[in-house]
Amino acid sequence: MPIREINFDGIIGPSHNYAGLSLGNLASTRNAGGVSQPRAAALQGLDKMRANLALGLVQGVFVPQPRPARAWLAELGTTIKAAEPGLAANAMSASAMWAANAATVSPAPDTADGKCHLTVANLRTMPHRSHEWVATLAQLKVAFADPAFAVHGPVPAAFGDEGAANHMRLVGGHGAPGIELFVYGRTGGPFPARQHVEASKAIARRHGLDPSRTLFIEQSEEAIAAGAFHNDVVAVANERVLFAHGKAFTDRDGTFAAIERMMPGVEIVEVSDSDVPLADAIKSYLFNAQLVTPPDGAMTLVAPTECRDTPSVKAWIDRHLASNGAIRRVAFVDVRQSMANGGGPACLRLRVACDPALVDPRFLVDEAKLDRLAMTIGKHWPQEIAAGDLQQSTLIADVIEARSALLEALDLESLS
């Protein structure tokens, strides 16, 4: 089969809660201490996957990680019951659902050895995410065990790496050689930069990328300070289209000029701050949508319903569609439970361009498999979790049982 882009969505885990752990993520902070709805969240995620299937896209999944993170707590000399509440929240986080932070992916046409390379992200900046890479790496090694893939461990933790959320690829077609764009940051106001340029350069070297087709771009401090903790909150690329806010990059003109030199014919769809203020772009997650090309060729923006509900964003979308621009269609999806914790449609997925026949089929889904997963989630996922519930024995037991049931439904018990 030819190379196709597969979206691997993280199934939202049974411990999904609002502990407000992500510094610089305004939605996470704003909803800290609220009551979450894990069952509704996971079903919303499945519905987004159904919407992708309806567009004719190939859809994959990653499973939730073991929670509580007992091995991490043990390294800290404690247990989920004995830990102070803040530490317990870090061990119960379901943030691995945001698969855009799982790894950075370079498809085979871009690499020196002709393999599809994946480097698991170390996520070292945020304690609740810093322990994810071990379980993520285990999944990647199973899903991409074929010799056509090269799966790498994390970049050393001296340098922060948060995966594909800070990486974009521009290409004429997914099976052709493309140019890879690595976006790094510096501290923005009170918020830390999560992606270090040293990590991005290390990944490019590991993956055997051609330096003449690789660009390192600095994210603007203004965007980080406004709450764009990852590049994918202010920019996204698909095929020959770069869709970005006017304040996404420190050197806007230099960045666009370099991209145009590397890829003649690139189409840059820029949204000005006067049309959509940066605050509205971040609140609505306009750029944290999935920009995809279905088989019918009509480039589609899979956007959160918050975009429809934000007047400046909806007005821009309507004008762009009426102008017959690069984005031909917008499909709105309800992922409000994830959005309330700071992750939109693009956060929930890792894009891997490869031959789907080379992927372990247990990680690929169709409608029938999604139906089975929905039944499992409806039966086992907690309906609600309050901030004070995270160390309750009954909840912990329910979370463990729910994940086990899901692994059984996918025949992935080896990941337990």
What's the pLDDT at 189? 67
Quick one: tokens of 360? 């372990």
Count of H helices and E strands in the chain? 15, 15
Give the domain ranges of the chain. Answer: 4-415
Has 354 been annotated as catalytic? Answer: no
Q: Which of 16, 174, 207, 230 is catalytic?
A: 230
CB under 8 Å to 13, separation ≥6 — which residues? Answer: 38, 42, 64, 65, 67, 94, 96, 97, 399, 403
Q: Which CATH number fits domain 4-415: 3.40.50.970, 2.60.120.10, 3.75.10.20, 3.40.50.300?
A: 3.75.10.20
Has 270 been annotated as catalytic? Answer: no
What's the pLDDT at 1? 64
| 220 contacts 193 by C-beta, under 8 angstroms | no
pLDDT tens by residue, the chain, 416 residues = 699 999 999 999 999 999 888 777 776 788 788 999 999 999 999 999 999 999 999 999 999 999 999 999 999 999 999 999 999 999 999 999 999 999 999 999 999 999 999 999 999 999 999 999 999 999 999 999 999 999 999 999 999 999 999 999 999 999 999 999 999 997 666 788 899 999 999 999 999 999 999 999 999 999 999 999 899 999 999 999 999 999 999 999 999 999 999 999 999 999 999 999 999 999 999 999 999 999 999 999 999 999 999 999 999 999 999 999 999 999 999 999 999 998 999 999 999 999 999 999 999 999 999 999 999 999 999 999 998 999 999 999 999 999 999 999 999 999 98
Has 306 been annotated as catalytic? Answer: no
Q: Which of 5, 16, 132, 347 is catalytic?
A: 347
Q: Which of 167, 198, 72 is nearest to 128 (CA)?
A: 72
Query: How many other CB atoms are there within 10 angstroms of residue 285's CB atom?
Result: 27
Q: Which of 5, 132, 162, 306 is catalytic?
A: 162
Strand order through the sheet with 349-354: 58-62, 4-10, 349-354
| Interatomic CA distance for residues 268 and 280, integer angstroms | 20
Instruction: Return the SS3 of 244.
Output: strand
What pTM value is reported for the model?
0.96
What's the pLDDT at 24? 76
| Four-point Cα dihedral 202, 155, 3, 165, nearest 10 | -100
What's the pLDDT at 401? 98
